[in-house]
Structures are given as structure tokens and as C-alpha cells.
């Protein structure tokens, strides 16, 4: 039995900052942003939007195409949670009118939250092939004005339905993981904006990727 992505929905706010305009304002070569970062526009959420509302909007792209009675799990991956105790997925479950019996929780982990949710949903469907799972990744990234990370801000959400015999993508078995407690990227409770050491973070990412990919190749031959 194959398990993977059967439906996918995307949402970004309709407001944005033009990267050429930002580069000119910061007296930078626009290609540093257009080519170096690889984006032309930076999405901006307004005061009426948060990670939850974006996650709901992303899921609405396909919710009417699925059997909601088969949904057994809902996981919300974010680093922009709106409540320090209550799971963002509960707000989504209520808005989408999913049954109360749906298991639901939130995963907080910079960059890895949605991937972790996807892996857990895959394993859930393997054990419960008659059920499906919804995973949502939704974030509003904020960095300080005129900092190195400013250009990498943005806002958006993706939602996916995970099921047996998927129509979009089947996920491979097995995985490799590697993590360390380092300060390349973090946002303490007292700060509204994230703190990042961009060059260090890039090197860490490349080093960790080599470790995980080498281990995965050993596992899978």
C-alpha cells in the first residue's frame, strides 16, 4: 500500500513588497534579492490575517472535494502560533466543521514543523488505511527592519490531504534525522521578530543535509 499526498491547497495574502523596490530602498543590487534569494515579491499579512486564518484558507481549496467523515487526524505545523497553550489545529477543525473525534495537535519547530506533521500523518494512515489526515503548514515570518534577514520574510500556508493510494505523490518508506541545539535561528518569547545568523544557518543546513542524506543512502542502499 502506498501512502502520500492526495490533495493540496495553497494560500498567500494579496499584499506584498516588491523586491526591486526594497533593494532600491536599502541601496542594494536588486539581483541580490531576485537571484540570490530567488524571489520577486515578499508577501505581507495584514492585521486581519494570522497563521490560523491562512491555514483555513489553504484547506478550503480542497475541503469540498473530500469525504470529511474519513478524516481522522489534523496536524498544524507552525512557528507563528497564536496561543501558547491551545493548538492552532483546534481553531481550524472548528472552522472546517470536522467531527470532534478527529485527533488534532500542533507542531512547533522552525522549518521542520510541516515535515514532521507529514511524516506522522503518513504513519497514521499506514496504521489506519481507511482514514485520511490533513496536515497544514502556516507561518508569518518577521525579521527586523533593515537586517540581513529582512528580505526573507513572508507569509503563506499549504494544506495537504494524506491518504492511501494518493493521486499526487507517494511517500517513500524510511527516513533519516539529525539535529543539534544551536543558535543559527530562534525567536524568544520576548521578541516579535526572529533572530538569525544567515551565513551560519546556511552552512549548518548544508552540513546537516550531508549527514542525513548519507545516512538515508545507507538505510536504503
Q: How many CB atoms lie within 10 A of CB 175?
A: 14
Task: Say which CATH number the domain at 93 has.
Answer: 3.40.47.10
Alpha-helix runs per DSSP H in the chain? 19-25, 30-34, 51-59, 88-95, 113-127, 198-220
**Cα-based angle 137, 142, 148 (whole degrees, multiple of 5):** 120
pLDDT digits 0-9 by tens, 195-210: 888 889 889 999 999 9
102 and 139 together in one domain: yes
Judged by DSSP in three states, 8 sits in strand
150 and 188 together in one domain: no
- Which is nearest to 70 in space by CA: 137, 136, 6? 6
Could you give the C-alpha distances from 175 to 92, 120, 133, 199, 211, in angstroms and in order?
A: 29, 12, 19, 27, 12
Exposed/middle/buried for residue 80 (C-beta within 10 Å: 0-12, 13-18, 19+): buried
Number of domains, the chain: 2
CA distance 12 to 54: 7
Query: What range does the domain containing 165 cover?
Result: 3-170
The pLDDT assigned to 147 comes to 85
162 and 185 together in one domain: no
86 and 165 together in one domain: yes
- Which is nearest to 204 in space by CA: 183, 176, 187? 183
61 and 155 together in one domain: yes
pLDDT in tens, the chain (221 residues): 999 999 999 999 999 999 999 999 999 999 999 998 898 999 999 999 999 999 999 999 999 999 999 999 999 999 999 998 999 999 999 999 999 999 999 999 878 899 999 999 999 999 999 999 999 999 999 888 898 888 889 999 999 999 999 999 999 888 898 999 999 888 888 988 888 888 898 899 999 999 999 999 999 88
CA distance 176 to 124: 18
Encode 109-138: b = buried (16+ Cβ within 10 Å), e = exposed: ebeebbbbbbbbbbebbeeeeebbbbbbbb
| Lookup: cell for 170 | 507517494
CA atoms within 13 A on the CB side of 132: 20
Amino acid at each position: 500500500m502506498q501512502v502520500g499526498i492526495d490533495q493540496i491547497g495553497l494560500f498567500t495574502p494579496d499584499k506584498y513588497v516588491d523586491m526591486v523596490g526594497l533593494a532600491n530602498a536599502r541601496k542594494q543590487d536588486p539581483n541580490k534579492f531576485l537571484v540570490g534569494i530567488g524571489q520577486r515579491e515578499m508577501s505581507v499579512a495584514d492585521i486581519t490575517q494570522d497563521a490560523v486564518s491562512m491555514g483555513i484558507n489553504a484547506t478550503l481549496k480542497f475541503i469540498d472535494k473530500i469525504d470529511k467523515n474519513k478524516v481522522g487526524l489534523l496536524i498544524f505545523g507552525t512557528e507563528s502560533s497564536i496561543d501558547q497553550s491551545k493548538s492552532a489545529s483546534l481553531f481550524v477543525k472548528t472552522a472546517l466543521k470536522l467531527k470532534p473525534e478527529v485527533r488534532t495537535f500542533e507542531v512547533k519547530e522552525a522549518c521542520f514543523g510541516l515535515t514532521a506533521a507529514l511524516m506522522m500523518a503518513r504513519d497514521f494512515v499506514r496504521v489506519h488505511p481507511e482514514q485520511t489526515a490533513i496536515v497544514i503548514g502556516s507561518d508569518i515570518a518577521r525579521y527586523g527592519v533593515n537586517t540581513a534577514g529582512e528580505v526573507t520574510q513572508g507569509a503563506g500556508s499549504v494544506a495537504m490531504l494524506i491518504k492511501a493510494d494518493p493521486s499526487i505523490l507517494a511517500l517513500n518508506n524510511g527516513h533519516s534525522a539529525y539535529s543539534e541545539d544551536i543558535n543559527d535561528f530562534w525567536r524568544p518569547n520576548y521578541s516579535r521578530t526572529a533572530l538569525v545568523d544567515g551565513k551560519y544557518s546556511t552552512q549548518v543546513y548544508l552540513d546537516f543535509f550531508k549527514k542525513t542524506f548519507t545516512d538515508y543512502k545507507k538505510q536504503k542502499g
